[in-house]
């Protein structure tokens, strides 16, 4: 039985999912989201390029996990609105049986995602908050789709910068790592002010002034999120460089991307604490 209770989409207030959709040229946003994104673009005109490069990184990283690390199941945290090359499309282009749990705290993602995925039994969308990682791992639909005896690909792509320092983003990754078996991989990306400080801090100010909490972090702070994981080659890089398929001269300047990404692998024997473990 479906739940038809009304959902408050909070359309009067900008939201990061819909602002990102605006930046990527999608159609699933409201006027407030476009206006808020334009304020960020005024400070950082290449923000659309940055968002696209982050998305391309996500695609390359998922393909790497399926093709080279043998991962067949994914939990995509802060998945955003459906766009081109979603995780299940990338993964299932290599193995049609790949399974994906999409998680986002914006209810509009649930609405659009559920419609898109309605006929695909290997994917599901749940409303969840990355700041409550245990609840996501224990969610009945996560448990139904993910086999916690096998390695999982966990994505926190362009979402940890919406988690404040006081909310312990590194601790969130640690909790997630404690709930999945050895051989699991973490795909992380994060915006930074390291490369173009003035413009990037302007974006942070623009987001915060619209009520969207954005915390840019340095390469060093971002790299701390991989503590306890083996960082996969070529390490933490500006997303456009990470296992890039285009020659260097065709890639954007680092200053126009200002976004780090990398993959961490959970080594060792299977961790205790995975859902379903005694
Ligand atoms: C910039 S988009 C990134 C989308 C996708 N991961 C990507 O990189 O293309 C950030 C997403 O994180 C979601 N988000 C923000 N804070 C969140 C939280 N606390 N828990 C779950 N999702 C969150 C937003 O709703 C949005 O969909």
Looking at the domain assignment, is residue 226 inside a domain? yes
272 pLDDT band, cuts 50/70/90, is very low
User: Looking at residue 8, what is its pLDDT?
Assistant: 66
* Alpha helices per DSSP H over the chain: 16-23, 31-43, 47-68, 87-94, 107-117, 133-138, 140-145, 169-177, 197-209, 219-224, 254-257
7 pLDDT band, cuts 50/70/90, is low
Distance 2 CA to ligand 1 centre (A): 25
Mean pLDDT value of segment 190-218:
96
Distance 103 CA to ligand 1 centre (A): 9
Looking at the domain assignment, is residue 236 inside a domain? yes
Looking at the domain assignment, is residue 10 inside a domain? no
* Cβ < 6 A, ligand 1 pocket: 16-17, 20, 54-55, 58, 78-80, 104-106, 109, 129-131, 157-159, 162
Looking at the domain assignment, is residue 9 inside a domain? no
Which residue has a Cα nearest atom 10 of ligand 1?
A: 159
Looking at the domain assignment, is residue 7 inside a domain? no
Looking at the domain assignment, is residue 272 inside a domain? no
Looking at the domain assignment, is residue 153 inside a domain? yes
- Give the number of residues written for the chain: 278
pLDDT at 266 over 80: yes
Looking at the domain assignment, is residue 274 inside a domain? no
Distance 117 CA to ligand 1 centre (A): 18
Nearest to 174 by CA among 194, 154, 198: 154
Distance 161 CA to ligand 1 centre (A): 9
Which residue has a Cα nearest atom 4 of ligand 1?
A: 80
The domain that holds 260 is classified in CATH as: 3.40.50.150
Q: How many domains does the chain have?
A: 1
Span 207-228, pLDDT tens digits: 999 999 999 999 999 999 999 9
Quote the CA–CA distance of 271 and 182 in Å, as a whole number: 7
- Domain of residue 216 covers 16-265
Mean pLDDT value of segment 130-149:
97
Mean pLDDT value of segment 178-190:
98
User: Looking at residue 235, what is its pLDDT?
Assistant: 98
Cis before 59? omega within 30: no
pLDDT at 168 over 70: yes
* % of the chain surpassing 90 pLDDT: 83
Quote the CA–CA distance of 204 and 161 in Å, as a whole number: 10
Mean pLDDT value of segment 15-34:
93
């Amino acid at each position: 039985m479906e739940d038809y209770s009304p959902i408050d989409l909070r359309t009067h207030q900008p939201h990061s999912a819909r602002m990102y959709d605006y930046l990527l040229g999608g159609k699933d946003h409201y006027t407030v989201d476009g206006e808020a994104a334009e304020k960020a673009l005024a400070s950082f005109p290449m923000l659309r390029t940055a968002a696209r490069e982050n998305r391309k990184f996500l695609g390359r990283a998922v393909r790497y996990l399926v093709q080279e690390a043998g991962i067949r199941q994914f939990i995509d945290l802060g998945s955003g609105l459906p766009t081109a090359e979603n995780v299940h499309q990338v993964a299932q282009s290599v193995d049609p049986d790949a399974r994906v749990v999409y998680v986002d705290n914006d209810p509009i993602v649930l609405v659009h995602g559920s419609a898109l995925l309605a006929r695909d039994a290997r994917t599901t969308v749940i409303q969840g908050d990355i700041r409550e990682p245990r609840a996501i791992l224990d969610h009945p639909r996560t448990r139904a789709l993910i086999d916690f005896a096998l390695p999982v690909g966990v994505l926190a792509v362009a979402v940890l910068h919406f988690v404040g320092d006081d909310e312990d983003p590194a601790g969130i990754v640690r909790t997630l790592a404690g709930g999945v078996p050895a051989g699991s991989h973490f795909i992380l990306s994060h915006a930074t002010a390291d490369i173009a400080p003035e413009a990037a801090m302007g974006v942070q100010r623009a987001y915060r002034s619209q009520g969207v909490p954005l915390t840019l972090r340095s390469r060093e702070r971002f790299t701390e999120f991989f503590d306890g994981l083996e960082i996969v080659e070529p390490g933490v890089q500006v997303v456009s460089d990470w296992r890039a398929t285009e020659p260097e001269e065709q890639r954007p300047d680092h200053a126009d991307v200002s976004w780090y990404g990398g993959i961490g692998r959970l080594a060792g024997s299977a961790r205790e604490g995975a859902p379903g473990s005694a």
